[in-house]
Structure 1
Amino acid sequence: MTVPRVTIGMPVFNDIEFIEESIESLLNQSYENFKLILSDDGSTDGSSDICLKYAEIDDRIEYIRQPKNLGISRNMEFLARESDTEYFMWAGDDDIWHKEFLEKCVSLLELNKDAVVAFSKYDTITEAKKKLRTISKPAYSNASSFVRLKEFIRDADDGFGYGLLRTEVAQKVSFPVWWWPNRKTPYNNIYPTLCFYLAQGNYKEYSEESLFYKRVKTEGRVNHKLIGEGNAFYETIAYVLRRFNLTVFSFREIRRAKNIGLAFRIFPLLIYNWFLLSSLQQINLAAKSFVKNRVLKN
């Protein structure tokens, strides 16, 4: 049997409507030299039965049910640690991959030894697979780590978090847990990790066509919620604190990936784009909402 070169780690939690299609699109890859680890974080909707069914019919699949709920971030870290192959990628249990996704990404990493992550142009889609928009970020690719980070911070998109990584890099990352009151909110906590990648090495993108389809769910189907929804004041406090966390943790990951000099060079951009600008926008929205509600009450 051929030794796998790619590990695909899929964190699973209550996605029975989409998980079968997601698994099928991975098993149908033209590049077949991979193994797929399904880490079930305590599903109760029947997703586990689907995982077990596929594990029985395809020996490339390993199914693991966690003894207690880890949460999405710790589950993703667990999957990366389980990898013993040259390359690794995370796979959402509701997303879809073109059959040539792995083939093209493996080729990009083989041809570009300075790259730590390979990805493709991709489409966001609805639950019914209707195309919403196409996203491509070739500007993230540059010989300079400062330029890569600058482009990412100014025009951030987290899609390439689902790209193909060199396993040695994927196993170095950790996803932050935001401070109270955001400790159970994973929104944006992949951004410091993406900063780590871009500080550590180059990004390469297959831009000829979309090879990845990221599903955007309706609010009621999302497994994690924002803190303070419905209370404009509390939501704003939580948001501003989360953006401050994002800035601090991103600085830390850049320093860890490269050096303190690069972290300080990029810090003004982090503060302006990811904390000040976004926080002021949120405060403005909250103020308008407050005024509108006061007018309606009067």
Structure 2
Amino acid sequence: MSQGRKEKLVSVGVPTYNRGATFLRETLDSICKQTYKNLEIIIADNASPDITEEVCREYAKRDPRIRYIRQKTNIGPTANFNVLHKEARGDYFMQTCDDDIIAPTFIEKCVARLDAHPEAAVAMSNFVEFDDKGRQVGFDPEKCVPSKKNLYERLKQYILMYETDGKDRIMWGVWRREAAIPYVFDERPFPDPPGWDFEDMSLVFLGLTKGACEFVNEILFYKRAVPTAFDAPRHKGIIRKLFDSIVYSRLRRLFKPFFYKRMKVIISCGELTLTERAKLLLWNKFVMSRLFWKRSI
């Protein structure tokens, strides 16, 4: 970074729950070791009953840039994300899960792209998913990073991308404050998983109405793939398995509020013409229907 220019403040939000004994230290180390130094690091602990509080307070004593917020009771994952949005003070904002790792230059290089491109809302690097056995899965940026500069074309491109290709990962990039902070995570207790209704893609879609996405073509973000209770095998009869696979899995997603929240964003986007809004609504309907033959959005 230039020595003669004051760095803008970047808020880094870390929601956490019960990671103190496993991955939290590695995540915090990767944030604290960033080459971009002007950070405020906000940890929102969702009333973890394990040693997470001890770990967070240890890091807060060691690094004055860390602010530790502990919930009195578990308020749910989306409400915990909302706390980070309310507490952030920076010009730029990013959030990362409590088990992910960012390379030392991740924030510096993303901020540089945003500084060089004032029309952009977010900057994200290339990324991989990894597990505890050292296996990594890469993603094709052309399939998950919207490259269009025109507003209508950008939103259309993002709508038509597939979730399974990594389009949701843009959420973890560095955002301009005005593009990400206004997003409010839905705190209603939706199942599968509880409290998370494609909130990542909803945030990205709203943010893309504010500006383009800049891409750093280096692998600087490492998303940990951690098995959860939702990944556990479930013992079902053959009829139930067929019903779940062919019918229920599609209908369950079709009637989630996600699609309808996206429709609301499209309708309220005044920078789009009426024709462009109508086209995007049709593309949104197309993706809803795509569930029935692709089983993917």
For normalisation by structure 2, the TM-score amounts to 0.83
User: Which residue of the partner structure matches residue 278 of structure 1?
Assistant: 291
Q: 1:106 and 1:247, CA in 2 relative to 1: closer, same or farther beyond 3 A? A: same
- Measure how far apart 1:263 and its partner are: 3.6
| 1:242 matched to 2:253 | yes
User: Which residue of the partner structure matches residue 279 of structure 2?
Assistant: 265
User: Which residue of the partner structure matches residue 39 of structure 1?
Assistant: 44
Q: Is the 8 A contact 1:140 1:151 kept in 2?
A: yes
Q: Is the 8 A contact 1:116 1:200 kept in 2?
A: yes
- Measure how far apart 1:56 and its partner are: 0.9
Separation of aligned partners in 1, 2:42 and 2:268: 28
| 1:174 matched to 2:184 | yes
Of 90-99 and 183-192, more deviation after overlay is shown by: 183-192
- For 1:240, the aligned partner's letter is L
Residue 175 of structure 1 aligns to a residue whose secondary structure is: coil
Q: CA RMSD in A?
A: 2.8
- For 1:210, the aligned partner's letter is I
2:210 to 195, 200, 209: 200
1:254 to 266, 273, 292: 266
Cα deviation, 1:56-76, whole Å, max 9, x if unaligned, reads 111010111012222221211
- Measure how far apart 1:171 and its partner are: 1.9
2:228 to 219, 235, 241: 219
Aligned-residue sequence identity (percent) comes to 25
Separation of aligned partners in 1, 2:251 and 2:293: 9
- Measure how far apart 1:144 and its partner are: 0.9
Q: Is the 8 A contact 2:78 2:185 kept in 1?
A: yes
| Structure 2 unaligned spans of 5+ | 1-5
| 1:145 matched to 2:129 | no
- Measure how far apart 1:258 and its partner are: 4.3
| 1:10 matched to 2:14 | yes
Of 22-31 and 230-239, more deviation after overlay is shown by: 230-239
Cα deviation, 1:241-265, whole Å, max 9, x if unaligned, reads 4333221111112334545734432
Residue 67 of structure 2 aligns to a residue whose secondary structure is: strand
| Structure 1 unaligned spans of 5+ | 284-298
User: Which residue of the partner structure matches residue 79 of structure 1?
Assistant: 84
Size of the alignment, in residue pairs?
Answer: 276
- Measure how far apart 1:210 and its partner are: 0.4
Residue 92 of structure 1 aligns to a residue whose secondary structure is: coil
Q: 1:96 and 1:179, CA in 2 relative to 1: closer, same or farther beyond 3 A? A: closer
| 1:110 matched to 2:140 | no
- For 1:270, the aligned partner's letter is N
Q: Is the 8 A contact 1:182 1:238 kept in 2?
A: no
Of 85-94 and 186-195, more deviation after overlay is shown by: 186-195
- Measure how far apart 1:234 and its partner are: 6.9
- Measure how far apart 1:52 and its partner are: 1.1
Q: 1:256 and 1:36, CA in 2 relative to 1: closer, same or farther beyond 3 A? A: farther
Separation of aligned partners in 2, 1:181 and 1:212: 28
Cα deviation, 1:41-61, whole Å, max 9, x if unaligned, reads 011221221111101111010
Separation of aligned partners in 2, 1:272 and 1:175: 25
- For 1:267, the aligned partner's letter is L
| 1:126 matched to 2:154 | no
